[in-house]
Structure 1
């Protein structure tokens, strides 16, 4: 009954509540009180999050295990809470009227997780049982972490983000033997860490970003398992302790927003054999750098480098042979990105708003990285890219799509786990308003129809390459994707629908106003996997009989909601096949049969919006050039009696019957199949 309009439940003793096991009334904002539930002896879970008119702690059975009261108006926790001796999880986040907890809460020996985020009236560190494992005190008004925390011997996660009154942290924190994660981010009055003579713990992650800490203590090297250290935007830090070079477990270091980073690194005795050489992830964004610190050459295993928001004019990547992720976004003075390392392992290149970027390396490098994963190359709002740069990145995108599709077709045994933990996909974006010529099926608007060739779904079929040309207005979305719906029409008039959400862009700020159109090239193995059985054999029984298919694209945000300021101007689809040609597209001999798809234009002929759209390959064989989208619908679906209005709705099969369409659409369909791949 979450999000309900109920104001009252039942009168006391009105029902037998012995069989009641769970209550979820979250976000029922008209609810003012909860009846006495002490007789509900089997009640284990109660969720009242967002019930903003609830002012009193509920009377409940001692058997309760999970109690979630976040965003309520509760002001006090009664001392009787000590009788809830089965309680495991207590959530009171953003109860801004809640005062300090009663001292007898320490008697709750079953309590392992306590959430007090945003409880801005809490001023004292809670006196809780030593059995607690997760403690969230973000945004509270506490001013110190006392030495009594040493009693919390099972504490694994301590979060104190944005406790802006916090000034002191006891050294006992760093002696806790079970503590793995400690977050002090945003504690703007915390200017010093305590002296610790001996560390016993297994701390793995320490977040000190946006604090007033002036220096890192030398004893940090005695945290033997620390693998992630975040000091981003600690603008008072002027140097790093030499002892940091002995931290052999440290794999991730965040120095973003820190001034004088180049000097900090140059002052360290770094070498290829020092502890810091194990770093795989380094964040130097917004550090006012004009060149990369030479000390980075001593980090041979670096896989992820974020240097966004700096002042480079040129950048060379040759020292980073293991680099897989590179973020150079918002380097507004960057004009040239020079050589990639040979061989290259780069999977993810983010170059949003590099407004001066003109030249890029050639794409004819051998790629030795993991093909069975997510890859992206995003040049959003890089409006000055020259012709050679555009040709290079478009050729690289075409190559990667073909090779990824080939590798995903027959993955090696070690690739299977990667495939099912994250489906292989590729996304590419750069300024432009033309679909590359090698896309054999193109059309204006958001839909394109394909007359499928005979035996199209053969054993050599690899999947679909997709292309979209989109125009953006001022857009506040932090990331977005394209939703792709495919309607396959069989010779018997049945329609089979596949839905796939193609993630495109993840960024750390607004997209902003863009005058130019952008071209997106996309591939998702999830969209192709439906044509194959688990044993690798193609599902010929359904899709080989299909003769036409309609691809429909729409633009959505991360929550799959439509983006109002985006217009899809053109779209294209290309069928990928394993071709009987040899090529040197990768260093893997197993790919010698994987030929490139047909060569053609670079797809970026003109980045100035043109009202006259020239479609060199706009489905001439299907007679659809200059047809409206409604005429395309009729062309594809008229045979089966399908009547479409302004949009499509998802259909599914349940117990052999086609469920009725949503949104009031009038559709007349034979029994069909619906496959939803979600985020491909």
Structure 2
């Protein structure tokens, strides 16, 4: 074993060193360029040349920001090409990446705003974005992030400009080198933004078409068809379309020569203009009738990707071979397995879905004679005019697509005796009340006895039709309905009913005795049924029940009774005060969320719980017996405002990984921890009434995240905090009574102490702390001299220091002491300033920028070029601007300003703009500018502050291509530097700022040799 790294007498965790070494080696390993044979092995015939052309358009080495388009017909391989390019470039070339599949379908199914939120989260990896209602791409905060992060975005299947604009508005302001790749069938989408960077995707060549067809028709076996002319004629009908070739090849697999000739004969009968559809139709026609119906169901019911379980839930009536049918469709390439992240899903290609819908519509001109209805206009027509017939088997009606109010005819469903699936739903609740579906006259009693799936959001009647005999009903969903009771008569049986969801049916007062009616029920959701009074007697003998949700049923009065749920796995409810000795509770076989309206918890818990959620319940104590839940992984007691104590048995929860006590305002003490908790990684107590932590806190041996944010009563922390060897994140913000901190844990990466108004000093920071957030610590006077740790780092031989930016070195990428106006001058002008410069030197190999802020009015001495005001001239620059296009010792720019913030206004987003301009020997032309922008939120009037940024060379933006001979031969060694400020709010255009004055500015050209000089001088000064 090697010598452990030491910081303040503590060894740095060995696993961290190993992890960083592996990361460094991985980065240095050469990347292999896939060969044509590699692509062929993956079934990607003929793709290599396309990849080269797209990569050429991407021009990864250039510093501009550009959109590249791939345009072509459906099935031609646009998505496949984009996926391969994304996989090859995203892992090493960019800092943030996102692939959004099926943009058109996702925008139809949800909204562009949902996709935009997903896109920004994937690029920036900030959970706060998920909580934003509409995270504007153009907001100053998000723009500032995107300006500094080189990103690669793929937007697949975009079909109009509105979608593109909603997702990447202001893309030209992204960090230099960022790329956006768009696939579309509509070239007009690209004309506005990528007119010169559009790649038209053509069909495969004859040889490639033949190879792809052979792969799917014969696999690895020798072709049983030796007639080259027959092969050529069959392949020609696919017209080079990869999807058609795959489908046709799979269809002809294992068939004899006569079958091939028959297929060719049938193809010749179809019109030439529908070539591709004809090929696809041939494969459909070769399916058994049952599998044809499954294909048509999927084509009409699902947009985009879907899971197998979703398809089975909707289509399986118990005797239908849905599972087998889907396997056949996958084998025939009529649906495909796709993988998005960690999720495996199924997807039907647009062309195939359109073909399936066309097959349905071609059978009759009147929608009421179609077997499946999915278009909102057609459904409205049939329901209003009562034109439905026995042909109708499926109705899919998205109420969000209604363009007017519709009155349903009383007998609209009476003729549809073969109706299997009725789904009337909302997928966009923004327009939920805009138009309504009225049943002023009610419905005739008759509903098809073949119904297996009945889903009606906002069902407007008080009960189900009285003569409905639901003997084949598998799933009943009535979200937010007006129903008061399910039936006004006695129903004989619901023998195959598995799932019932009546959530948020606020008028529902009772449910029937399901113990006798529906013995096969597996899931019941009654969440939000606030008028429901009695439930338990109706459920007593449901042995197959695995999922029960009674959350929000605030009027339930029957918990006193004993009930046997022998098979319950998922008990999402407010009934946890009841003792259920046989309860076995899970979500998805391993998770349970429980909550209770009572002020106590039963002494007996379900023994198999893994997640227990008692959030926002009025419990005042947790019993000692909780320690018996040996499998509990997560315990959430957040916002339990009456909770006063936790038992010491909490330490017996040996599987516990997360404990949440946030908002428990009456909880004053955390219990003593008498034995090690080996798995607890996260302890969240933000906003709790905690006044102290136990000295035994060192028994939390695996703790990584300790959040005491807004614990305003805590006055001190135990000295044994430093023994939490794995603690990485410590949040003490708004702990207003804290005056001092104990020694900090050695593995700490992030320390937040903002608004700790009583805090007077900070201890030595651990060696690898990368983030210090100390805004508005108004009593902070002193920060420990960190130079002993610095000397240790400078002298270390550890591989960790080969790439310090990878291992979260010393003070890190972010240190904010804004508003700490009591800091003494030595701390501000020497300790913080010198270590800001040290951090820049140690991060010279990084492609990330750095930010520092502290009170002061002096530009650090290391900024050799500095001046009062907003401009300065720089003479005899060592390297002319060709450093941006050629290899050199130049690494980046360090920028510094002193701001007078005495006039700052609340909610101002201040943006500091920097421009660097080199002189040239060309008199009649203006040279390119080098520019940068940095965002800060200085929202409180205060004294002068120093702001320091480091901008790596790769993130410097310039206004023109520097590689032209014109510029390379004309640079002089003189330059000018200018800085100015603007301000903005969200959605407000940037304006020149009058709320802050730039008093001084400085710029420092950072070179590799500066590191050696700085290290030597720093060591001499220690």
TM over 0.5: yes
The reply to whether residue 388 of structure 1 matches residue 844 of structure 2 is no
Q: Of 875, 878, 883, which residue of structure 2 is paired with 1:456? A: 883
- Report how far residue 208 of structure 1 moved: 3.8
State how 1:99-110 maps to structure 2 within 5 Å.
none
Aligned to 1:580: 1009
Q: Of 429, 438, 461, which residue of structure 2 is paired with 1:49? A: 429
Q: The residue matched to 2:955 in structure 1 has which SS?
A: helix
| RMSD over aligned Cα atoms | 6.2
Q: Of 509, 517, 520, which residue of structure 1 is paired with 2:947? A: 520
Distance, in Å, in 1 between the alignment partners of 2:406 and 2:1002 is 57
Aligned to 1:377: 815
- Report how far residue 48 of structure 1 moved: 2.5
- Report how far residue 187 of structure 1 moved: 2.5
Contact 1:143/1:167 (<8 A) preserved: no
Distance, in Å, in 2 between the alignment partners of 1:58 and 1:542 is 69
Moved more, 297-306 or 167-176: 167-176
Contact 2:759/2:780 (<8 A) preserved: yes
**Which structure has the bigger radius of gyration?**
2
Distance, in Å, in 2 between the alignment partners of 1:337 and 1:253 is 23
Deviations 1:214-238 (A, max 9, x none): 3323443343221221224434445
Change (3 A) 1:64 1:225: farther
Q: Of 337, 347, 357, which residue of structure 1 is paired with 2:780? A: 357
- Report how far residue 250 of structure 1 moved: 1.4
Aligned to 2:607: 175
Aligned to 1:407: 845
Distance, in Å, in 1 between the alignment partners of 2:784 and 2:738 is 15
- Report how far residue 284 of structure 1 moved: 3.8
Change (3 A) 1:324 1:257: same
Contact 1:357/1:384 (<8 A) preserved: yes
Contact 1:155/1:176 (<8 A) preserved: no
Deviations 1:488-545 (A, max 9, x none): 999998999999986757xxxxx864243544333466962989xxxxxxx9758995
Q: Of 745, 748, 751, which residue of structure 2 is paired with 1:323? A: 748
Contact 1:138/1:160 (<8 A) preserved: no
Distance, in Å, in 1 between the alignment partners of 2:399 and 2:868 is 49
Q: The residue matched to 2:783 in structure 1 has which SS?
A: coil
The reply to whether residue 307 of structure 1 matches residue 750 of structure 2 is no
Change (3 A) 1:577 1:75: farther
Moved more, 440-449 or 458-467: 440-449
Contact 1:316/1:340 (<8 A) preserved: no
Q: Of 742, 751, 762, which residue of structure 2 is paired with 1:337? A: 762
State how 1:8-23 maps to structure 2 within 5 Å.
10=377, 12=379, 14=381
Q: Structure 2: which 5+ residue stretches go unaligned?
A: 1-107, 113-374, 383-387, 440-446, 460-478, 488-493, 556-572, 794-799
- Report how far residue 265 of structure 1 moved: 0.6
Aligned to 2:189: none
Distance, in Å, in 2 between the alignment partners of 1:439 and 1:86 is 75
Q: The residue matched to 1:144 in structure 2 has which SS?
A: coil
Deviations 1:346-375 (A, max 9, x none): 111111221122222335332579623673
Change (3 A) 1:311 1:167: closer
Moved more, 290-299 or 570-579: 570-579
State how 1:257-276 maps to structure 2 within 5 Å.
257-258=687-688, 261-262=691-692, 264-266=693-695, 268=696, 275-276=699-700
The reply to whether residue 430 of structure 1 matches residue 883 of structure 2 is no
Change (3 A) 1:151 1:444: same
Change (3 A) 1:584 1:327: farther
Distance, in Å, in 2 between the alignment partners of 1:545 and 1:455 is 8
Taking structure 2 as the reference length, the TM-score comes to 0.41
Q: Of 291, 295, 309, which residue of structure 1 is paired with 2:720? A: 295
Q: Of 267, 270, 283, which residue of structure 1 is paired with 2:707? A: 283
Distance, in Å, in 2 between the alignment partners of 1:238 and 1:150 is 33
State how 1:40-189 maps to structure 2 within 5 Å.
46-53=426-433, 75-76=482-483, 144-145=575-576, 150=584, 152=586, 154=588, 165-169=597-601, 175-177=607-609, 179-180=610-611, 182-189=612-619
Deviations 1:266-304 (A, max 9, x none): 4x4x66xxx323323323443534443233244343322
Aligned to 1:201: 631
Aligned residue pairs, count: 533
Contact 1:290/1:312 (<8 A) preserved: yes
Change (3 A) 1:74 1:64: closer
Contact 2:594/2:613 (<8 A) preserved: yes
Q: The residue matched to 2:840 in structure 1 has which SS?
A: helix
Distance, in Å, in 1 between the alignment partners of 2:454 and 2:871 is 52
Deviations 1:425-462 (A, max 9, x none): 43222335666572848896799999993423142333
Q: The residue matched to 1:455 in structure 2 has which SS?
A: helix
Change (3 A) 1:155 1:572: farther
The reply to whether residue 475 of structure 1 matches residue 906 of structure 2 is yes
Change (3 A) 1:493 1:353: same
Deviations 1:73-119 (A, max 9, x none): 75559959x9999999x897xx695758968799998989x896x88
Distance, in Å, in 2 between the alignment partners of 1:371 and 1:246 is 34
Contact 1:363/1:393 (<8 A) preserved: no
Contact 2:631/2:656 (<8 A) preserved: no
Contact 1:62/1:83 (<8 A) preserved: no
Change (3 A) 1:550 1:281: same
Distance, in Å, in 1 between the alignment partners of 2:550 and 2:912 is 37
Between Structure 1 and Structure 2, which shows a larger proportion of helix residues? 2
Contact 1:316/1:338 (<8 A) preserved: yes
Distance, in Å, in 2 between the alignment partners of 1:174 and 1:154 is 16
Distance, in Å, in 2 between the alignment partners of 1:523 and 1:106 is 67
Deviations 1:296-352 (A, max 9, x none): 2443433222333345675355453222222222222233334335xx221111112
Distance, in Å, in 1 between the alignment partners of 2:966 and 2:519 is 66
Distance, in Å, in 2 between the alignment partners of 1:585 and 1:79 is 79
Distance, in Å, in 1 between the alignment partners of 2:635 and 2:929 is 45
Distance, in Å, in 1 between the alignment partners of 2:979 and 2:646 is 56
Aligned to 1:212: 642
Distance, in Å, in 2 between the alignment partners of 1:566 and 1:245 is 59
Contact 1:49/1:68 (<8 A) preserved: no
State how 1:559-638 maps to structure 2 within 5 Å.
567=995, 569-570=997-998, 574=1003, 576-583=1005-1012
Q: The residue matched to 1:514 in structure 2 has which SS?
A: coil
Q: Structure 1: which 5+ residue stretches go unaligned?
A: 410-423, 506-510, 532-538, 587-591, 597-680
Distance, in Å, in 1 between the alignment partners of 2:729 and 2:893 is 30
Distance, in Å, in 1 between the alignment partners of 2:499 and 2:930 is 45
Distance, in Å, in 2 between the alignment partners of 1:119 and 1:473 is 51
Q: The residue matched to 1:389 in structure 2 has which SS?
A: helix
Distance, in Å, in 1 between the alignment partners of 2:551 and 2:913 is 42
- Report how far residue 199 of structure 1 moved: 2.5
- Report how far residue 377 of structure 1 moved: 1.0
Aligned to 2:771: 348
